[in-house]
Chain A
Amino acid sequence: MSETTPSNDAAAVSKSPDRLREFWFYFRENRGAVFGLWIFGIFAVLALFGPLIAPYDATTQFRDAALQPPFWQEGGNWTYPLGTDPLGRDMLSRLIIGARFSFFVGVIVVTVAASGGILIGLIAGFAPKWVDSIIMRIMDIILAFPSLLLALVLVAILGPSLTNAMIAIAIVLQPHYVRLTRASVLSERQKDYVTSAKVAGAGIGRLMFVTILPNCLAPIIVQAALSFSTAILDAAALGFLGMGAQPPTPEWGTMLAEAREFILRAWWVVTFPGLAILITVLAINLMGDGLRDALDPKLKRS
């Protein structure tokens, strides 16, 4: 017995780098996904170290330099590379520092929605039929409301702020995880390896989290990437409607809302925040497509 242990350990250790390597092999095939990963990396760095990188503070107002165009246009200069907004704040600095809001919205919303959804989904997959029915009906009810409308009403109830916007978006996104987890649990539960684990005496907690959950993760990870971008878009939309982050926070959607009245006079205050949202969301969606191709064996061929 003691002789076989080391080799077992070695196998266990080498197993997960193998899977990682296999994953990377498939992920690398998709050039768009790798490109998306690079952009996402830059985005993450800006989110973490934004205030150190940005040339100015996000809320400092240079009153004598209000509404300066970007450097390549007449009247612009390199002091404010992407121009200034109506209050004379540097656009580039606001965009860089704004990255963290979108990033943390994505991270927190996905963490909350996924962990809650996975837990409820596991319960629904294992519980008696009537509990399952009740849970799924509740999810149907949440899904019946258009997500942005539900988030909007929830934020109106909780009071407009970025935190409340995140809570609302997490609630709205969570049913997708429940459905996904429950569906894979139901199909995995039939399989032989689960039966043998049960025969070997695994308790229900072990069956849920150790035996079954790792085998359901692939579609959930793909969904996580997708809802990361949905979360960013919805938070920006709420900010744009005045129900998300509040001025003077340099959140990209809120910046767009503030810039709306200058739309025909100063194109850059409207264009850049939206471009930042688009590029970020696009990068995450590219990554999501790559993840799906690399993780989901059923879809690998297409």
Chain B
Amino acid sequence: MLNYILSRLLTFVPTFFGVTLISFAFIRVLPGDPIIVMAGERGLTEERYAELSEQFGFDRPIYVQFWEYFTGVLQGDLGTSFVTKRPVWDEFFALFPATLELSVCAMMFAVALGLPAGVIAAVNRGKFFDRALMSTALIGYSMPIFWWALLLIIVFSGNLQWTPVSGRIDLIYYFPDPTGFMLIDSLASGQKGAFLSAVRHLILPTIVLGTIPLAVIARQTRSAMLEVLGEDYIRTARAKGMSPGRINGVHALRNALIPVITVIGLSVGTLLAGAILTETIFSWPGIGKWMVDSIFRRDYPVVQGGLLLIAVMVMVVNLTVDMLYGVINPKIRKR
């Protein structure tokens, strides 16, 4: 077991180095001189240009620059945004709770609907419910979510006026945000209506971001359930006269959950990619929108640092899922 964990951890090291190298290299080949971009429309004298280029280390050889960046990263220094002049690290963690809150809600939405849908489909295999649910899941899986978001806005914000179009909360509310999670902070503030406003802002983005994971989870649950339902121990349980509800709900589902949990864990990357589109459409102030804005503003240190942090986050989650899977299922370890 220990060997398995150690060998998995060891593969993390070269991948981390590579991810740092790639996010660094990307920015060096981006068109446009970062210093000119930073100077904006005022322009620069030649002395000032040289001075800045020395200040940022752009005049030194590229491998020296990379080494300094890499050692900086290991010490938690990801550089400073050209636009806001704040450390990339601070910006990331100021915005991260918004994305986390949205992602967690989306995942809860997906699991809460996807698991039962998958189980119902598997139990009614080939019948009407199965077909209806799986066709819906396939539509969800094929959905261009940026369009889905626009449709929901037309119906729920435009025609019905039920939900707001953008942001995390109505601007009339103001309260301190110690945790950064709007739902918790608005509840803690005790202001009347604040929590409700936060919830209403969350609904559409949650549905949009949760749609594809929902479809994936429903499909995965169905196929895992079908596999388990064919096992001998299910037949034994049935022969013993156990109620179908108990067989499906307890015996089968528990074993079908293992691959489903893996899928949930591995969809973190999908969620973050979805967050880019969802946050842009709903003006949700999270890291997805932050990355898109920075790419358009050519804020190189932010793009570089954000790319790195997001990749590392995906890697850590995948590694954790992998190791948990190894703990749950001993067969995996032998590979």
Contact = CB atoms under 8 A, between A and B. Distances in A.
Interface string A255-297: 0100010011001001101100110011011100100000000
Interface string B292-323: 10011000000100010011101100100000
A260 B150 contact: yes
Interface stretch (B37-45, B47-55, B273-281): B273-281
B273 A147 contact: yes
A202 B73 CA distance: 50
A144 B295 CA distance: 19
A138 B22 CA distance: 10
A204 to B, nearest CB: 26
B277 A278 contact: no
Contact of A277 (B19, B147, B292): B147
Given A157-B29, A157-B31, A278 B147 contact: yes
B272 A146 contact: yes
Contact of B311 (A144, A285, A289): A144
Interface string B51-88: 00000000000000000000000000000000000000
Interface string B128-141: 00000001001101
Interface in B17-36: 18-19, 22, 26, 29-31
A149 interface: yes
Interface string B207-247: 00000000000000001001100000000000000000000
A146 B144 contact: no
- Counting contact residues on chain B (CB < 8 A from A), the size range is 35 or more
B29 to A, nearest CB: 6
Given A141-B15, A145-B307, A256 B226 contact: no
Given A156-B30, A263-B153, A274-B144, A285 B138 contact: yes
Interface stretch (A11-19, A64-72, A112-120, A233-241): A233-241
B150 A263 contact: yes
A95 B191 CA distance: 49
Contact of A153 (B143, B153, B307): B307
A253 B147 CA distance: 9
A270 B153 CA distance: 11
Contacts of B124: none
Contacts of A93: none
Contacts of B329: none
B139 A241 contact: no
A278 B273 contact: no
Contact of A274 (B147, B273, B295): B147
A271 B155 CA distance: 12
A302 interface: yes
Contacts of A22: none
A263 B146 contact: no
Given A144-B311, A240-B277, A241-B292, A285 B142 contact: yes
A147 B272 CA distance: 9
B22 A141 contact: yes
Contacts of A233: 142, 144
Interface of B is mostly: helix
A282 B143 CA distance: 8
Contacts of A241: 276-277, 280, 292
Interface string A136-163: 0110110111111100111011010000
B141 A285 contact: yes
B270 interface: yes
A274 to B, nearest CB: 3
Contacts of B332: none
A233 to B, nearest CB: 6
B14 A137 contact: yes
A152 B147 contact: no
A282 B147 CA distance: 14
A229 interface: yes
Contacts of B14: 137
A223 to B, nearest CB: 15
A282 B142 contact: yes
B138 A267 contact: no
B318 to A, nearest CB: 8
A152 B142 contact: no
A152 B276 contact: yes
B142 A137 contact: no
Nearest to A138: B18
B33 to A, nearest CB: 14
A152 B270 contact: no
A32 to B, nearest CB: 8
Contacts of B139: 278, 282
A138 B296 CA distance: 28
A282 B138 contact: yes
A282 B314 CA distance: 28
A9 B68 CA distance: 66
B310 A141 contact: no
Given A153-B303, A270-B150, A140 B11 contact: yes
A149 B147 contact: no
A148 B138 contact: no
A278 B142 contact: yes
17 contacts: A137-B11, A141-B19, A144-B19, A145-B307, A146-B273, A152-B292, A153-B295, A154-B26, A156-B30, A237-B144, A237-B277, A241-B280, A241-B292, A242-B296, A253-B146, A274-B147, A302-B223
Interface of A: 32, 137-138, 140-141, 143-149, 152-154, 156-157, 159, 229, 233, 236-237, 240-242, 253, 256, 260, 263-264, 267, 270-271, 273-274, 277-278, 281-282, 284-286, 289, 302
Given A141-B22, A149-B307, 9 more contacts: A144-B312, A146-B276, A149-B291, A237-B146, A240-B277, A241-B276, A256-B146, A270-B147, A274-B151
Top 9 A-B pairs ranked by shortest CB distance? Answer: A274-B147, A146-B273, A141-B18, A148-B273, A281-B142, A282-B142, A144-B311, A264-B158, A146-B272
